[in-house]
Structure 1
Amino acid sequence: MNCPAPPSTFFAQALVNWQRQQGRHDLPWQGTHEPYRIWVSEIMLQQTQVSTVIPFYQRFMTTFPDVASLARADLETVLGLWSGLGYYARGRHLHRAAQEIVKQGFFPRSPEELQKLPGIGRSTAAAIAVFAFGRRAAILDGNVKRVLGRFFALDDPGNAELWTLAESQLPDRHLEAYTQGLMDMGSLLCTRARPRCTDCPLQTQCQAHLRGETRRYPTARRKTPRSQRHHRLLLLCTPDGRWLMEKRPVPGVWGGLWSFPIEDMDSLPTGHSRTLDLTPCPDLEPPPFIHRLTHFDWHLTPRVFRISEAVPAPSSSPWHWGTLSDLMTYPLPTPIHQLVHTLFTRETEDVK
């Protein structure tokens, strides 16, 4: 990585001054040093925009105002509140970490100890340590990488080099304003597609801006082709309006959430495909859709079948029959919730 020697204090001081005057100060997790509130916000903010997180955070805090209440909750309740926020492993990790914190009797204070909790990586641990405990630690999420990459005009920087650079810019004071300033800068000004360079306090020494090559930096990583997966969603409905759902296994996509059965007839409970009278109902089928996950595109094709009767599922099985109104209260992944809502709307209109 070839980058110019960093200015001694300009980068940090400019960020601190800008954050105090122009940064965000009224987010629901700001104005506190309570580690629980800060921790929950940082987990929710992983790969998710602030505007999306705010209503989820507020509902979560109303239901689980402290770490003890979260630790006592059952996972399904936690995932129900997480439904729609995406990246559901975060919710599972948050729940498990809360139980570990309660068990050990205190909230870890150092970045190193925080990283030992489920779902907390190096950058998240640093952010919690800074905002909750005033520790001196560097963050390095996607926004920070972009700000550093442009300011120093970095060509294909590696993670190790970026961490070294991030740590070299840490000021001796005002760590909270500096860290929040980095986050706000990447989110509000130094955006990926349309950076607002004319409003940026770093522009006078930003190497990408001075070269007129803001959009070039940081050098884009080579994109690996996204894999494509194709599955069927099996929508089985009884004459009295009950639908078969499965609780997704953990770990795995949508782990711990409820969904219509996925794959083919072999994925149904033992005996269903052999003993039930399945009548295809193509006129009721919602259109196929694509659900984009981190590493692949999931092509899902709903298939609707009428069946003569429901086969009772053992209490210990991941299968359950429920009405659409019941299912809408379950912790569902967003695409499945939308699908249930569509079916419910149709059913309501048919009754009218």
Structure 2
Amino acid sequence: MAATVSDTLLDWYDKHARELPWRARPGVPPTDPYRVWLSEVMLQQTTVAAVKPYFAAFTMRWPDVAALAAAPEEEVMAAWAGLGYYSRARNLVKAAREVAALGRFPDTEAGLRALPGLGDYTAAAVAAIAFGRRAVVVDANVERVVARLFAIDTPLPAARKAIRERTDAVTPDSRAGDFAQAMMDLGATICTPREPRCLLCPLSETCEGRRTGEPTRFPVKPARKAKPQRRGTAFWIEREGSVWLVRREGEGMLAGMRALPDDGWTARADGTDAAPLEGPWTDIGAVRHGFTHADLELAVRRIETASTPPGEGEWWPIESLDGAGLPTLFAKAARLVLA
């Protein structure tokens, strides 16, 4: 079955591969591992549609790994704003600097895995797609395809060992990068989560999940745990057409990003509602935002002042606030104030 799956899928990919700005044509090895690596980091937990404009902007501004390595981290973080999971951006800069110091990208899974921010999946994907190494590449799309193909009914995450073993069994020795991308494309366009297009699937004749009559039952998902609900407050401090922005500290959520001052909320605890200045604050409303480990309701309060708040920060012209690189949460708060 392994040869049948890989040969059939590669034939399908040769005809139906998606055209993506970071991807070489089927059968043509990529010449720039930088573009493969950058796209894979951006695509972690993010859709292709969301990534395309960011990829275009990054590669125009930093066309190679040396240019990215020389960029100030705060500029990269600002350019990343809106993509979410901001630790990826910090690791992107760290990894670029390590690659620049080495003089080239590592071309093996082990070497790539040693770079900041590259886990098993990303290292395998870059090794296979950029360097033609045989690697077992399992993202969410591949996980779904393989779970259905073999009707793996063990619930996730326990099923991942079996899914990886099955993926390994069908991964060919040659064209492993094309095979990985073919599996991704199949999951993204045919073997979709809710309404798989089984009649168009090149693997339908061998798919055990389809034979059950309930392909959408696979992969079997665990019961979803309710995320904690957190509350916090953001403070819009305005003076003469500018707003006070701070740089978030530490290694936690949104660390290193420009933001409105807030009351210290975290994914583990509500904020204190303590304002950075005394005065006649106006309640503007609230915005909601979902993080991986918690959902947040962020109240927004506004004040006009002639004073400079305590601590480090900067006055940013409101008319050019789009250039501040605010993360999505604080961009929502700003839009609420300015509406």
Fold shared per TM-score above 0.5: yes
* Contact map agreement 2:113 2:123 (CA 8 A) in 1: yes
- Output the CA distance in 2 between the equivalents of 1:268 and 1:118: 36
Match of residue 161 from structure 1: 162
Q: Residue 71 of structure 1: CA displacement?
A: 0.5
Structure 2 distance, partners of 1:61, 1:268, is: 42
Matched, 1:331 2:332: no
**Matching residue of 1:11:** 5
Residue in structure 2 matched with residue 143 of structure 1 by the alignment = 141
1:92: Cα distance to partner?
Answer: 0.9
Q: Assess if the C-alpha contact under 8 Å between 1:259 and 1:336 holds in 2.
A: yes
Shift of 1:308: 4.0
* Residues 76, 331 of structure 1: 8 Å contact kept: no
Count, aligned residues: 325
Q: Which moved more, 1:108-117 or 1:221-230?
A: 221-230
Residues 33 and 131 in structure 1, CA contact (< 8 A), matched pair in contact too: no
4+ runs of 1 displaced by more than 3 Å? 264-269, 341-344
Q: What TM-score do you get using the length of structure 2 for normalisation? A: 0.90
1:3 match: none
Q: How does 1:88-127 map to 2 (within 5 A)?
A: 88-127=86-125
Deviations 1:130-161 (A, max 9, x none): 11111000111111110011111111253322
1:252 correspondence with 2:252: yes
TM-score, scaled relative to structure 1: 0.87
Match of 2:231 in 1: 230
Whole-Å Cα distance in 2 between the matches of residues 260 and 233 of structure 1?
6
In the aligned structure 1, how far is the partner of 2:52 from the partner of 2:309?
42
Change in CA separation of 1:86 and 1:311 when aligned onto 2, cut-off 3 Å? closer
Give the number of the structure whose alpha-carbon radius of gyration is greater: 1
SS at match of 1:234: strand
Q: Percent identity?
A: 33
Aligned to 2:27: none
Matches of 1:223 and 1:212, distance apart in 2? 24
CA contact (8 A) 2:13 2:182 kept: yes
CA distance in 1, matches of 2:199, 2:296: 40
- Select which of 58, 67, 70 maps to 1:69: 67
Structure 2: give runs of 5+ residues left out of the alignment.
25-29, 265-270
Structure 2 counterpart of 1:30, from 6, 13, 23:
23
* 2:198 pairs with 1:200: no
One-letter amino acid of the counterpart of residue 304, structure 2: R
Q: Does structure 1 conserve the Cα–Cα contact (< 8 Å) formed by 2:232 and 2:272?
A: no
* Cα distance in structure 1, aligned partners of 2:67 and 2:195: 42
C-alpha displacement at 1:266, in angstroms?
A: 7.0
CA distance in 2, matches of 1:178, 1:196: 20
Residues 1:280 and 2:281 aligned together: yes
Secondary structure of the structure 1 residue equivalent to 2:244:
strand
Distance in 2 between residues matched to 1:232 and 1:267, nearest whole Å: 6
Q: Distance in 1 between matches of 2:33 and 2:300?
A: 43
Q: Is the counterpart of residue 186 in structure 1 residue 187 in structure 2?
A: yes
Q: Helix, strand or coil: the match of 2:243? A: strand
* 1:88-111 alpha-carbon deviations (Å, 9 max, x no partner): 111111111001111222210100
Q: Which runs of 5+ in 1 are unaligned?
A: 1-6, 347-352
- In structure 2, distance between residues paired with 1:138 and 1:333: 34
